[in-house]
Amino acid sequence: MAGKADKKGLKVHVIDHPLIQHKLTLMRMKETSSKDFRDLLEEIAMLMGYEVTRDFPLREIDIETPVAPCKSKIIAGKKVGLVPILRAGLGMLDGMLALIPAARVGHIGLYRDPETLKPVEYYCKLPPDVSERTLIVVDPMLATGGSASAALTLLKEHGARNLILMCLVSAPDGIKVVNKDHPDVPIYTAAVDDHLNEHGYIVPGLGDAGDRIFGTL
């Protein structure tokens, strides 16, 4: 379910599509403006969403085209919910909604205490039927893994059983934490970076994603 472990023991799906890698490089550049950063994040989220949904099951239905009746495929699995982790996860929401416009959206507000690096919850509003949905949790950064793990725990406490985590840039530490705390949850990322610095920032990373999206640097 959550994929096979790589050479470093990390269970993660790395989406290495050239368009995603190119756009991620632009996002990493410190001179990239907030507007461009936001636009690129939305574009990448849509491209990643294409891969994240690749294994969604299909079923055949009978339809009629203007020319002939035929059998054709539609998505058969559970309904989808999107759950951005505030604030930075909001930057990935519209790209995903462009792909899955009927998805319901839940919000989880977490910020990382700058001293302890532990997540602090300040908001949670979810669709009522999370147990019947495949929930895709989106957050650009998986650093220590504290925020993602707490969000996944919270969703399970609300009945969610079918979860996917989608992050733009991940640190090995964060992947390990989520693999350990939530072995049932597949992680999709565009990059596994080298390490965390003493402030818990991903190196090389792209800085503070929320600040870069919203211009609050």
Stretch that binds ligand PRP, among 13-21, 40-48, 67-75, 206-214 (CB under 6 A): 206-214
Stretch that binds ligand PRP, among 26-34, 60-68, 110-118, 152-160 (CB under 6 A): 110-118
Q: Which of residues 139-158 bind ligand PRP (CB under 6 A)?
A: 139-148
* 112 catalytic per annotation: yes
Which one of 23, 112, 133, 212 is in contact with ligand PRP (CB under 6 A)?
112
Q: How many positions of this chain bind ligand URA (CB under 6 A)?
A: 10
**What pairing do the DSSP bridges indicate for beta strands 202-203 and 195-196?**
antiparallel
Which one of 14, 24, 117, 124 is in contact with ligand PRP (CB under 6 A)?
117
* 116 catalytic per annotation: yes
Question: From the CB of 77, what's the least distance to ligand PRP, in Å?
Answer: 27
Please write down the long-range contacts of 36-42, taking CB distance under 8 Å and 24 or more positions apart.
37/212, 37/213, 38/91, 38/213, 41/91, 41/92, 41/95, 41/140, 41/168, 41/209, 41/213, 42/91, 42/92, 42/94, 42/95
Question: From the CB of 49, what's the least distance to ligand URA, in Å?
Answer: 20
Distances from the Cα of 14 to the Cαs of 64, 85, 190, 215, in angstroms? 39, 20, 5, 28
The smaller minimum CB distance to ligand PRP, of residues 20 and 151, is found at: 151
The identity of residue 19, as a single letter, is L
**Angle CA 104–109–114, to nearest 5:** 150
Token digits of residue 197 = 């610095």
Instruction: Verify binding: residue 193, ligand PRP, rule CB under 6 A.
Output: no
Pick from 193, 196, 177, 173: nearest CA to 185: 177
The smaller minimum CB distance to ligand PRP, of residues 130 and 169, is found at: 169
Which one of 45, 93, 138, 143 is in contact with ligand URA (CB under 6 A)?
143
Q: Which residue matches tokens 């939530």?
A: 182
- The CA distance from 45 to 39, in Å, is 10
State which H helix or E strand residue 140 sits in. strand 133-142
Binding string to ligand PRP for residues 75 to 104, with x set by CB under 6 A, is what? ----------xxxx----------------
Instruction: Verify binding: residue 214, ligand URA, rule CB under 6 A.
Output: no
Q: Which of 38, 87, 112, 133 is catalytic?
A: 112
Which one of 151, 154, 205, 213 is in contact with ligand URA (CB under 6 A)?
205
Tell me which residues are annotated as active site. Answer: 112, 116, 208, 211
